[in-house]
Structure formats: C-alpha cells, structure tokens
Amino acid sequence: MRHGQKCLSFAHTVISISKFWRIEDVLLHQVTPRADRFLLDFLIDDSHSLKASSLACRSFLRRTRVHLFRQLHFDNFRHFHKFRNMCQASPHIPPRVETLALHSGWDDRKMRGTKHFVAVMSLFSQLRAIKFIHINWSLLPQDVRVALSSHAFQCIGFHCVTGINASDLFSLVSGSRASLHTLELHHTDVVESLEQGEQSYSSIDVI
C-alpha cells in the first residue's frame, strides 16, 4: 500500500469516529491518552486501519500492536520461519498473541523444517485459542502434534478438518484438561467413538 493510500485509510478512520471528538482535535492529535486508547479499540478488528494508524502517529504504535498481534493467521509452515525471526527481533510480540488460526495450504513439502513452528509455539505465553481450518490432520508431523498438545488452550476449533480420529483429538486436548471450556467441530468428522472423551471432559462445551 502506498503512503497516500495509508493516509486516506487513516483519514477515513478519523471521519468514522468524529462523532466522539472534534475532527480538528483528532487531526492535531490533541486528544487525551484515554481517547487514543478508545480510538484504537474502536478499530480492533480492522487491521488495515490499525496499520495506517500506527504509521500516522508514533504514540498509537504500542496500542495498535496489541490488536494487530492479538489474532494470527498462518497459511503454511514457511511463515513461521519469518515470524520466528520477527519474534527474535521484537520479543514483546509473542505475549500479545491470544488466538492462532492455521489455514489450508499445508502439505508435506511445506511442512519440512517444522522446528520453527515448535519454537514459536513455545513463545506464546498468552495463547488461549487455536483454530484449524481446512487442515488434513493426518499430514501433521509428530513434533507439531506434540507442540500443540503441550499447550493449554481455553478454546479449540476444527473447521472442515479431515483425517482426524478420536485418539488424535484427545491427544491434542490432553494438555488443556484444566483450561479447555469450548471445543468447536464444524464440518469435521472424528473417526471412532467420542463417548470416552465426553465422559472425561464433561465440562467442555462441544459446538
């Protein structure tokens, strides 16, 4: 995105919230720190406006990072190499991640060198939720499965996941026995009976 486009995006953001403050105060950055926080919280799910805001005003940078890294989406393992390098340069990023979404596009070729995924997973101290979307579970390497099962999640979601059986499922949630309260299964068939798991995790909401 060019600089002019970023400025235009930020200007659109300012106009959207002008009903809360006088427009000239926002443009001159004369709003209070509390107002800054409210402005950026208003944009919590608008990544483009958050990025534009962080570039438009240095004082916005810290708060925008909180929202920009709150949810991460990865299409394949190769992205974890770049993200690991980013985390090494900016160690304040991993603790801000609360939700991780792993999308389709993963195959054997892209799964080589999974050490970066395992290393990054160990950095997510505040990770509470994970989503698997269009993933073939049978293709996941063992070290990746171990890294996932060793983390304590509050919410785990499966969306159009294939190749998973009951043993895989309960191996994953084993590390979340005390914390997991929501297990989402959307268009996902789990092979074998879930009766034993339902008894062991009776407090989990299966959606």
DSSP string, 89-133: H-TTSGGG--EEEE-S---TTTTS-THHHHHHHTT-TT--EEEEE
Q: Which two tokens stand for residue 20?
A: 């809360």
Q: How many domains, the chain?
A: 2
Same domain, 100 and 131: yes
Q: What is the pLDDT of residues 79-132, one digit of tens each?
A: 888 889 988 988 888 988 999 999 876 555 556 668 888 999 999 999 999 999
Same domain, 153 and 172: yes
Query: Confidence class of residue 69 from pLDDT cuts 50, 70 and 90?
Result: confident
Q: What is the pLDDT of residues 19-36, one digit of tens each?
A: 444 444 444 455 555 545
- In this structure, how many other beta carbons lie within 10 angstroms of the beta carbon of residue 24? 9
Mean local confidence (pLDDT), 168-191: 92
Same domain, 108 and 202: yes
Q: Which of 51, 67, 83 is the last residue of a domain?
A: 67
Same domain, 114 and 62: no
Same domain, 99 and 56: no
Amino acid at 98: E
Same domain, 34 and 76: no
Enter the pTM of the model. 0.67
Mean local confidence (pLDDT), 138-157: 92
62 or 151: which leads in pLDDT:
151
- In this structure, how many other beta carbons lie within 10 angstroms of the beta carbon of residue 163? 13
Same domain, 62 and 94: no
User: Where in the sequence is the domain holding 177, given as residue range(s)?
Assistant: 69-206
